[in-house]
Amino acid sequence: MEDFNTQGNTPLLGIHEDVEGAEEKQGLTSRIWNESKKLWIVVGPAIFGRISLNTANFVTQAFAGHLGDLELAAMSIAASVILGFTFGLMLGMASALETLGGQAYGSKRYHMMGIYLQRSWIVLFTCAVFLTPIFLVATPILKLIGQPDDIAVLAGTLSVWLIPNVFAMVFLLPLTRFLQCQQKNYVQAIACFAALVVHIFNTWLFITKLQFGVVVATIILSITWWIPVVCMLVYVTCGGCPLTWHGLSISAFNDLWQFFKLSASSGVMMCLESWYYKVLMLLTGNLDDVTIAVDALSICINISNWELMIPTGFFAGIGVRVANELGAGNGKNAKFATIVSVVTSLIIGFIFFLMILLFNDKIALLFTKSEQVLDNVQNLKFLLAFTILLNSIQPVLSGVAVGSGWQSTVAFVNIGSYYIIGVPFGIFLGLVFNFGIKGIWGGMICGTFVQTLILSYITSKCDWDKEAREVSNHGEKQSLIEK
């Protein structure tokens, strides 16, 4: 295999053990600065790309909110719940590429990254085919779980027009991870920003000026998601990744079952997290004055999701850093990267915690002018602020799990924390004791808090040198198999 340095690039990390020793001899300030630079190479573009794409959803729901309360509620259910359920599962399944690709890059098995990318496409395409019927029968499903008929019917109609988004995910999510493992996710950031600019113009033109309505807004959103897919496909397949992309290969079908098992455990881990607050939206459908309650909650969740792009950027960054360091056999560097990432994300989360407490009512005006909805949003600001603070830690720890390959363990943690503690506690407070939306959300925050404590304990007790040896041994075995 051609040596990486002959390509005129610099690896994301040092490969040899003496690099780890040299870094330990540096002062703490210097080490933090150097680690932060490595981390932000991935985190910066990841945050920018995620914010750009999530802002497209944000824009669509904001325009829907100005069409009416029913349109906002239906779009929130369709985009945040129906599409969100699917996105959570496929996002998790794509993280298998993050684990294997990051470790392959760290151990210089560059050619395998293109094979892993194609395996991920195969697995996610199969998943998308099986998930599509959910969008076709969304209306009866929503009625069955207690949503009002008018919201369920309109949300079901919008869900059909979101099916193209599902197949955009098949390519978008693996391509994003493929590029970020090579510190090339600036391509994703540029492509997503271009998509956002086009989306804002199209939404303004067709919804505000031509007044086509919420269905056309949904179609525009589906088109927008394909723009970064096309851009990244062109970049990867037309010479942008000469080390890692060697064209389509039949080898992608080899060892597919092992890749699927890791994808499945990753999918379970991530979708249990992603679905958690979608359950909050569905439980709100059982409250009185449901349209106002769903509108207020959807605004809070949109604000939370927008800010969540920052810690999920750290999720991507620390996943790559840990996978690369473990692939290179540098356990202590993986540990140090974890500490720097958690502390940095927590500081940023605390800043947003304060901003929500101070400016929550101003942000809500972007979505609606309804006084009832605005009052409800203002009443939820403390819960929103604490959710954002907790979410500044939890995704980073999940990223460490992805980089280390602990997805199966974290899946069990998520089941216990979210669905044995959080959801029942939320139902108990919100519906049994009639605390309403505050009770439901407050109970579910308890689940997030428990999950964060458990992941913190697991990470703090990890033997990083042992993890590095196991990953290196696995890489050597894979190299022998590939030969």
Note the pLDDT of residue 149: 84
Where residue 475 falls among pLDDT bands split at 50, 70, 90?
A: low
Compute the average pLDDT of residues 40-68: 84
Could you tell me which residue, 476 or 207, shows the higher pLDDT?
207
Note the pLDDT of residue 281: 67
Biggest CA pair distance of the chain: 67
Note the pLDDT of residue 439: 87
Compute the average pLDDT of residues 107-133: 90
Domain boundaries, the chain: 19-471
Specify the length of the chain in residues.
483
Note the pLDDT of residue 5: 36
Could you tell me which residue, 9 or 277, shows the higher pLDDT?
277
Whether pLDDT at 200 is above 90: yes
Note the pLDDT of residue 288: 63
Write out pLDDT tens, residues 252-301. 888 888 888 878 877 777 777 777 766 776 677 666 666 677 778 778 87
Where residue 111 falls among pLDDT bands split at 50, 70, 90?
A: confident
Note the pLDDT of residue 430: 83
Note the pLDDT of residue 41: 87
Note the pLDDT of residue 290: 67
Note the pLDDT of residue 478: 57
Whether pLDDT at 395 is above 80: yes
Whether pLDDT at 122 is above 90: yes
Compute the average pLDDT of residues 5-28: 48
Write out pLDDT tens, residues 211-247. 888 899 999 999 999 999 999 999 999 989 999 999 8
| pTM of the predicted structure, to 2 decimals | 0.77
Compute the average pLDDT of residues 399-416: 86
Provide the mean pLDDT of the chain.
83
Could you tell me which residue, 134 or 281, shows the higher pLDDT?
134
Where residue 369 falls among pLDDT bands split at 50, 70, 90?
A: confident
Note the pLDDT of residue 289: 64
Note the pLDDT of residue 16: 42
Percent of the chain predicted with pLDDT > 90: 28
Note the pLDDT of residue 12: 42
Where residue 4 falls among pLDDT bands split at 50, 70, 90?
A: very low
Write out pLDDT tens, residues 424-461. 998 888 888 888 888 888 888 899 899 999 999 999 99
Percent of the chain predicted with pLDDT > 70: 89
At 218, list the tokens.
């949904």
Long-range contacts of 153-156 (CB under 8 A, 24+ apart): 154/70, 154/71, 154/74, 154/214, 155/73, 155/74, 155/75, 155/77, 155/78, 155/81, 155/82, 156/78
